[in-house]
Chains A and B, each alone.
Chain A
């Protein structure tokens, strides 16, 4: 098959229960936010078309249940992911401390071909809560952790207010695309995401 076009990018969202994984996905895909909390059971899934240069891609976003008990169900979805999004709540230290577990669990279960360079993106969500007064994880601390894990791009978001959500997912999509390219050598070499004309978002190293 000559230069098969890669059109599907698979992204998986992980993080503790209640940090806002589903809300981030809903804000990005549907531009909607609900204050009502409904725990995700099993996994949920949404898609969005994204454009880079002149090409269209389908971003396939897998949202998972945050409670540890459900991990045995989630692992089935880890395989074949092109990017993994780790989410924590800036108002919860525990959710931040657990990022390491989520990252390691993902690398074990998804077993990507090049684990050291597999693209992650970290999102510190709920920056809107209480005008930032209930915040317990500083931006500095979060960035330091991201730097220590191979310069993971970092965004501070509010799914509720729609702050930085679009920018974060742009970066996620770009990273997913990059990881796909490295794996699949039959890609046409006409796409050059490195020189993307999109405005660079803060913290995204792509």
Chain B
């Protein structure tokens, strides 16, 4: 796999037998709305992007040297700029800066090299390295989508440390619960999302209840792969920009935004069609410039905290009884 160079701002035309989009993916035969965007890119838009990249470069400094300083001084500017999308040529570097993985790498020199063999494929290497680094979690399907996305923007070692930063919680709450036995964090997120749907979109929530639809049927992959499983690449990137800086709440916001955007269609559909629609959103709903402003306007932070406490309270009883059972089983085994 060809690796992207972080400084490579203006990639020259790559000769290819099949037409590719700006990310190097082979274009589908049916035209996507994004294709139109590329074609209509005018000189003005190009200049605007150039200006944007210059602003970003200033904010980051050489190799990221000014980044922390800038974030401390002007956190709102940083947040605003990230929400507009990180310039693609700087994405790899910025992702490492905002996830805290850069610091992890610098603090742990040589750790990655010890854990991967030569001559193997990048994705395998990163996933294998992680499963060895964290034997309790090991390898879980879904991690591959994260690692794959990261490898398009950084080296194996950088991708490995970004995985560590996310799963162990360098900046935000640790994600490892998404992958641990029983998927405890997935269960919690689905519980929170279910409540949020009912609160933000009561009519749709009622319709879901009537049709016996719950978030485990459509949203678990949103959380497990942070929208990198089945969403258009350009949308996934924009979500990841914000996800790495602001944390998992953007997944809830985008999820709610998708339901909000398609609300009037979804509310008419019976179970069969509903479950299909919730896995195949229309292309205009997945346009980042339409979807993300809706997502940003939805406030969830406070409610997420409350719902987390509620979930923990409700689950405490279950956990306790399970623990008691576990102890009984152990005793049984000892007696045997």
A-B contact count (CB 8 A): 50
> Given A45-B279, A76-B216, are A39 and B272 neighbors across the interface (CB < 8 Å)?
no
Contact check: which of B144, B182, B214, B272 meets A72 at CB < 8 Å?
A: B182
User: Is A73 close to B, CB under 8 A?
Assistant: yes
Contact check: which of A41, A70, A76 meets B214 at CB < 8 Å?
A: A76
Kindly provide the distance from the CB of B224 to the nearest chain A CB, expressed in whole angstroms. Answer: 5
Q: Across the interface, name the chain A residue whose C-beta is closest to B225.
A: A41
Contact: B275 with A39, CB < 8 Å?
Answer: no
Contact: B187 with A72, CB < 8 Å?
Answer: yes
Contact: A39 with B142, CB < 8 Å?
Answer: yes
Dominant secondary structure of chain A at its interface with chain B: mixed
Q: Digit string of B189-231 for contact with A (CB within 8 Å is 1, else 0)?
A: 0000000000000000000000000101100110011000100
A69 to B140 Cα, complex, angstroms:
7
> Given A45-B279, A58-B272, are A39 and B183 neighbors across the interface (CB < 8 Å)?
no
A17 to B276 Cα, complex, angstroms:
23
Contact: A41 with B272, CB < 8 Å?
Answer: no
Q: Which residues of B sit under 8 angstroms from A39, Cβ to Cβ?
A: 141-142, 144
Q: Which residues of B sit under 8 angstroms from A47, Cβ to Cβ?
A: 272, 276
Contact: A42 with B272, CB < 8 Å?
Answer: no
> Given A70-B183, A72-B182, A72-B183, are A45 and B275 neighbors across the interface (CB < 8 Å)?
yes
Q: Which residues of A sit under 8 angstroms from B214, Cβ to Cβ?
A: 76
User: Is A65 close to B, CB under 8 A?
Assistant: yes
Q: Across the interface, name the chain A residue whose C-beta is closest to B137.
A: A69
User: Is A92 close to B, CB under 8 A?
Assistant: no
Contact check: which of A42, A60, A76, A77 meets B221 at CB < 8 Å?
A: A42
Q: Digit string of A12-47 for contact with B (CB within 8 Å is 1, else 0)?
A: 000001000000000000000000000111111101
Contact: B221 with A41, CB < 8 Å?
Answer: yes
Contact: A70 with B272, CB < 8 Å?
Answer: no
Kindly provide the distance from the CB of A109 to the nearest chain B CB, expressed in whole angstroms. Answer: 14
Q: Which residues of B sit under 8 angstroms from A117, Cβ to Cβ?
A: none
User: Is B161 close to A, CB under 8 A?
Assistant: no
| Residues 248-303 of B at the A interface (beta carbon under 8 Å) | 272, 275-276, 279
A69 to B229 Cα, complex, angstroms:
17
User: Is A98 close to B, CB under 8 A?
Assistant: no
User: Is B38 close to A, CB under 8 A?
Assistant: no
Q: Digit string of A46-84 for contact with B (CB within 8 Å is 1, else 0)?
A: 010000000000101000010101101100110000000
Other A-B pairs, 16, CB within 8 Å; known A39-B142, A67-B140, A67-B141? A41-B145, A41-B229, A42-B216, A42-B217, A42-B220, A44-B279, A45-B276, A45-B279, A69-B141, A69-B181, A70-B141, A72-B183, A73-B186, A76-B216, A76-B217, A77-B217
Q: What are 27 A-B interface contacts by the 8 Å CB criterion? A: A17-B141, A40-B141, A41-B142, A41-B224, A41-B229, A42-B216, A42-B217, A42-B221, A42-B224, A43-B217, A43-B220, A44-B279, A45-B217, A45-B276, A47-B272, A58-B272, A69-B140, A70-B183, A72-B182, A73-B183, A73-B186, A73-B216, A73-B220, A76-B214, A76-B216, A76-B217, A77-B217
* 6 nearest CB pairs, A to B: A42-B220, A39-B141, A41-B221, A67-B141, A42-B221, A72-B182
